Amino acid sequence: MRYSVYSVIVAGLCTLASAPLLGQTSAALCDQVSVGAFPRTAHARDFDGTFDIRSNGLVVTCGYVLPVNSSLTLVTGYSAMSFVNSFGVQSYSFGASVEAEYRPGFLDNVGGYAGIDGGFVYGYEGYFAKDRMIGPFTPAGNLKAGILYDIPDTRTTLYSGVQYVPPVFGHRGIISPVVGVTQRF
């Protein structure tokens, strides 16, 4: 029963992320690929400004761009992540990603983004209670927000922001800084 809400959220994210692909006429798998790194994280509940967990995380997202207007773009897609969790175990996640990117014309090449990722994580078996697990996986999601910088005369964007995993089912939640690059095709 507890995971029925998560299942609905994950199914909704997957549907939203895959819907543009159904009407896609390009042969490319995605319009853009983003790669981000987060070397450290911290538990959000006890956060004192110190990122004390060596997470050595890498996140890759394959996104499909949906322009809303000249300033706002919606990017949906799929993401995968590799990181060391707070128990020191190499972990992996996969799921769907939805992100809004806002680039007001008066800021030239600068904008902001906010979004949500949802999916499943492998690497917590034996560390989380069995009612939080679906086989070897646990459902998870994170909120993300930050700034964008479009490198002039290229199809490349640099980004920097924060990922936040809300505390659920007794978990303390996670916060981490992230920096990365996006290449549009």
Cβ(99)–Cβ(79) below 8 Å? no
Distance CA 46, CA 167 (A): 11
pLDDT at 23: 45
- DSSP, res 105: G
Q: What is the pLDDT of residues 18-39, one digit of tens each?
A: 555 444 445 568 999 999 999 9
Sign of the CA dihedral with 130 first, then 136, 91, and 2 last? negative
Structural domain containing residue 128? 2-184
User: What is residue 16's three-state secondary structure?
Assistant: helix
Per-residue pLDDT for the chain (185 aa), expressed as one digit of tens each?
Answer: 444 555 555 555 555 555 554 444 455 689 999 999 999 999 888 788 899 889 999 999 999 999 999 999 999 999 999 999 989 999 999 999 999 999 998 998 999 999 999 999 999 999 888 888 899 999 989 999 999 999 999 999 999 999 998 887 567 889 999 999 999 99
Distance CA 122, CA 133 (A): 10
Beta-carbon neighbour count of residue 170 at 10 Å?
8
Residue of 81, 94, 100, 101 lying closest to 36 (CA atoms): 81
pLDDT at 145: 98
Region of 130 on the Ramachandran plot (φ > 0 left; ψ -120 to 50 alpha; else beta): alpha
Cβ(52)–Cβ(82) below 8 Å? no
Distance CA 61, CA 59 (A): 7
With 0-12 / 13-18 / 19 or more C-beta atoms within 10 angstroms meaning exposed / middle / buried, residue 89 is middle
CATH code, 116: 2.40.160.20
Count of structural domains, the chain: 1
- Average pLDDT in the chain: 87
pTM: 0.83
